[in-house]
A and B are shown apart, each in its own frame.
Chain A
């Protein structure tokens, strides 16, 4: 019998191209404090904490350990960490809450892509024998996927420009988003290719950011939120490591995760999809079977702010916040990791 786990609070920093002033504790302390305050929860009330970040991204071994000061872990806290996007830290916290002995969990994520050369860092996640030595950057790999999709008739360059235009226009209403502008698809299509067939607007910005989510199970959810948003299903799947061994025009892992999370049934008011590239939104919509009536990325999505290790958790936080304030009843939140949508997490959220 699974326990019902709800998102009861979400806090984030404003996403910026380069935060020159804050190190990890200073990024995490404000979002953790704010999220706990919103949940009316003291640090002593937190049953379990899990974080998502990447030491490779930050250039500091054990960076995630330095960040622990922000938790005030004395008396010693029950804590875990994933070298991944915080969405997977949330998954671990959800699993931990199923054990039944703790009722609340704190999840946080932080990432500063500005410190190193992001594309060189991301190349380290590729196959070390056959692919990494070529140092293919993340944009080129995404471009390969976009080309495959365009050539298969999966979408047009115009549709991609429409996604870019819609996302960054929506971001105008999100004070935390980084790239916020009103540009028509026609204007965007006149821009030159960055890495064909992708133009600059088809790609995510480089961002520094942090966010935190508070989870509470069963009755505790109602103690910590006036309108808790329950996770009615959550699942994640990973595909083969070798890019050449999978069909890049589809996201089988998203579809399977969606099936198990219950995301292929019923109506949804909105979906926050972690699609750093415009063509990936097309692939994800198809995998999730989303109709045109579902509002996608009202926050502006990863095209408007893409703090590595944070953007996936932020999708869950953004979707939950919107349901909590009455913008809808049911939402899908999605997170991705690895090149070309290699690993995907799908979460179904329902407001009470």
Chain B
């Protein structure tokens, strides 16, 4: 009686070439030019960063381009402590929901340049870009955000955007 087969190696490899789509591609090309450009929904007037192929509340593309500032308020955030593959830095480091000045919804990005236990809601930060020669259509054109020295933003300025 031969040994039962317990494991069958089945190697699967599936390669895809995906597209970011029209709307997101425009956003990425703007990042390559050191511009953060969102889209305003023509129905509800909310400014989305990045712009959307469909406003999630109105169902129409956020057609009007709106450039937003490179400064933002930290709304909610978390401190990554657990190591995982492809993490950008050794832990601990901070990922935050950042409300850029001029935008109605936060973006997620890294916050550095401040001890992790001092990061707080309301902290004012600014984008730190890669050197000009490395700018490309990728979210990595912004390396991270760091404190810009302004006094903390009042909770009322971002409570509706959490």
Contacts and interface: CB of A to CB of B under 8 A. Distances in A.
Interface string A119-147: 01100100011001100000000000000
Contacts of A182: none
Interface residues of B, number: 26
A60 B10 contact: no
B21 A72 contact: no
A129 B61 contact: no
Contacts of A33: 59-60
Nearest to A22: B21
Interface in B16-46: 16-25
B137 interface: no
B111 interface: no
Interface residues of A, number: 34
B18 A60 contact: yes
B139 interface: no
5 contacts: A25-B23, A33-B60, A69-B53, A115-B18, A133-B10
B18 A69 contact: no
Given A72-B59, A116-B14, A128-B10, A25 B19 contact: no
Interface in A33-71: 33, 43, 56, 58-60, 68-71
A26 interface: yes
Contacts of B15: 116-117
A21 interface: yes
B118 interface: no
B45 to A, nearest CB: 15
A164 B156 CA distance: 66
Contact of B22 (A22, A58, A71, A74): A22
A129 B6 CA distance: 12
Contacts of A128: 8, 10
Given A59-B14, A129-B8, A132-B10, A73 B56 contact: yes
Contacts of A22: 19, 21-22, 53
